[in-house]
Amino acid sequence: MEPLYIRPVIALNDFLPVFLAGGLVITFGAFYAVVVTLVKMQKLKKIYMFLAYFFWGLQVYSIYFLGLKIHSQPFTMKAMIIAMVAYLMVPHIYYLIISKSEERYKN
């Protein structure tokens, strides 16, 4: 019987970079979400939105680095990048829907 998936071996000296990159993906994603939320709630000025995009860029780099270190297949790398583009757009779409629904129910 042929195996369905062959897991590539990750070098022992790559464990720390893989671990840190995975943690940074989560951390930078949280910072992106927090800054976008605070700007959309008008707790921060719109000028700070560049900071959110900076954290998103760091998150994309971290996930790309992680994918390289764990020897991801090309399809998996493309799926991760598509997920990152979706993560960039989802908060904006979410707040657009909320603001449109608030306008609808105010009138």
Please give the full DSSP string across 12-67, using - where no structure is assigned: GGGHHHHHHHHHHHHHHHHHHHHHHHHHHTTSS-GGGHHHHHHHHHHHHHHHHHHH
Q: Considering the domain boundaries, does residue 80 fall inside one?
A: yes
Q: Considering the domain boundaries, does residue 28 fall inside one?
A: yes
Give the mean model confidence (pLDDT) for residues 71-89.
Answer: 93
Q: Considering the domain boundaries, does residue 93 fall inside one?
A: yes
Q: Considering the domain boundaries, does residue 8 fall inside one?
A: no
Q: Considering the domain boundaries, does residue 36 fall inside one?
A: yes
Q: Considering the domain boundaries, does residue 2 fall inside one?
A: no
Domain that holds residue 55: 14-106
C-alpha–C-alpha distance, residues 72 and 94, integer Å: 31
pLDDT in tens, 29-77: 999 999 999 999 999 999 999 999 999 999 999 999 999 999 888 999 9
Q: Considering the domain boundaries, does residue 53 fall inside one?
A: yes
* Domains in the chain, number: 1
pTM assigned to the model = 0.85
Q: Considering the domain boundaries, does residue 9 fall inside one?
A: no
